[in-house]
């Protein structure tokens, strides 16, 4: 008799054995997408997309998240805590307009007080490509719980200050937007990756900051590994 772990792996492999569903994983490997954008990129109808998303969600390949900005929106994200999903994502091509030969990575959130700071600091541990963080509406200081979370993971944020997102971005800059509000505010035509990471400041507990860090750590690690390959 198969154990639960084997059954889950079988479900994932079965879900990924269909070409359209594997392409959905490819599209989500670098960042999260709204279902409408995903359907447009794939060139399929929303009803067919809904069917494929249902299969992937049931197999534990994806999750659907309600936007923390425009609550009418939702985003589809990979369950990259699953090692089979992680492996599939690592072999996926990059989306059009996104290059991992960037001269600089800019991690962006609204206040630049937690998520983008943690992401940039973690990136600095993993990649030789320079990284900064910035906010669309910078707050007065780095959140104390973000400083504490960083310290628990060997990241020093105590001397950082929130900064404004530059008005002019370089053609070789890779923009990674780690919050829904900032993503929905920025020019939709500017190439970027969007990571729908829940804002730990809203909950304001150490556990919330640890969850946010774990999410960012997986995403940063995967992106840095692909940049180095």
Q: In what order do the strands lie in the sheet with 104-109?
A: 131-135, 104-109, 173-177, 193-194
Q: CB neighbours (10 Å) of residue 210?
A: 15
- The domain 104-228 is placed in CATH, from the list 3.40.50.620, 3.40.50.2300, 3.30.1490.20, 2.60.410.10, at 3.40.50.2300
**Per-residue pLDDT reduced to its tens digit, 77-87:** 999 888 899 99
DSSP 204: -
The average confidence (pLDDT) of the chain is: 92
**Per-residue pLDDT reduced to its tens digit, 37-60:** 999 999 999 999 999 999 999 999
**pLDDT, position 181:** 97
pLDDT band at 1 (very low <50, low <70, confident <90, very high): very low
> 73 in helix, strand or coil?
coil
> 212 in helix, strand or coil?
helix
d(CA 210, CA 74): 23
**pLDDT, position 3:** 67
The answer to whether residue 5 scores a pLDDT higher than 90 is no
Q: CB neighbours (10 Å) of residue 41?
A: 14
DSSP 72: T
Tell me the Cα Rg of the chain.
Answer: 18
Q: 195: closest CA among 221, 171, 173? A: 221
CATH number of the domain located at residue range(s) 4-90 in this protein = 1.10.10.10
The answer to whether residue 62 scores a pLDDT higher than 80 is yes
The answer to whether residue 220 scores a pLDDT higher than 50 is yes
- Top mean pLDDT of 149-153, 173-177, 218-222 is at 149-153
**pLDDT, position 169:** 84
The answer to whether residue 2 scores a pLDDT higher than 60 is no
**pLDDT, position 51:** 97
DSSP 75-137: EEEE-TTSHHHHHHHHTPPPPTT--S--SEEEEEESSSSSHHHHHHHHHHHH-SS-EEEEESS
pLDDT above 70: percentage of residues in the chain: 95
Domain coordinates of the chain in residue numbers? 4-90, 104-228
Contact 146, 121 (CB under 8 A): no
**Per-residue pLDDT reduced to its tens digit, 108-153:** 999 999 999 999 999 999 999 999 999 999 999 999 999 999 999 9
pTM (2 decimals)? 0.91
The answer to whether residue 4 scores a pLDDT higher than 80 is no
pLDDT band at 190 (very low <50, low <70, confident <90, very high): confident
| Total length of the chain | 229
d(CA 142, CA 120): 13
**Per-residue pLDDT reduced to its tens digit, 11-42:** 999 999 999 999 999 999 989 999 999 999 99
The average pLDDT across 205-210 equals 98
Contacts of residue 192, defined as CB under 8 A and 6 or more positions apart, other chains included, come to 31, 98, 174, 175, 176, 177, 183, 186
d(CA 56, CA 12): 8
d(CA 101, CA 225): 13
């Amino acid at each position: 008799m198969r154990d639960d772990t084997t059954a889950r792996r079988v479900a994932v492999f079965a879900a990924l054995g269909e070409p359209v569903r594997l392409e959905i994983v490819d599209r989500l490997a670098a960042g999260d997408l709204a279902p409408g954008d995903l359907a447009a990129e794939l060139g399929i109808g929303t009803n067919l997309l809904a069917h494929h998303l249902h299969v992937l969600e049931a197999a534990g390949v994806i999750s659907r998240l309600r936007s923390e900005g425009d609550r009418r929106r939702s985003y589809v994200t990979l369950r990259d805590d699953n090692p089979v999903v992680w492996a599939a994502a690592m072999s996926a091509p990059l989306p059009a307009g996104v290059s991992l030969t960037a001269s600089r990575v800019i991690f962006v959130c609204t206040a630049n007080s937690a998520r983008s700071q943690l992401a940039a600091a973690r990136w600095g541990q993993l990649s030789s490509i320079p990284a900064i963080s910035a906010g669309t509406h910078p707050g007065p200081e780095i959140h104390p719980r973000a400083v504490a979370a960083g310290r628990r993971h060997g990241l020093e944020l105590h001397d950082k200050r929130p900064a404004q997102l530059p008005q002019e971005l370089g053609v070789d800059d890779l923009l990674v937007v780690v919050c829904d509000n900032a993503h929905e505010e920025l020019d939709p035509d500017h190439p970027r990756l969007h990571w729908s990471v829940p804002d730990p400041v809203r909950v304001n507990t150490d556990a919330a900051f640890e969850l946010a860090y774990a999410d960012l750590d997986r995403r940063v690690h995967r992106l840095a590994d692909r940049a180095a390959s």
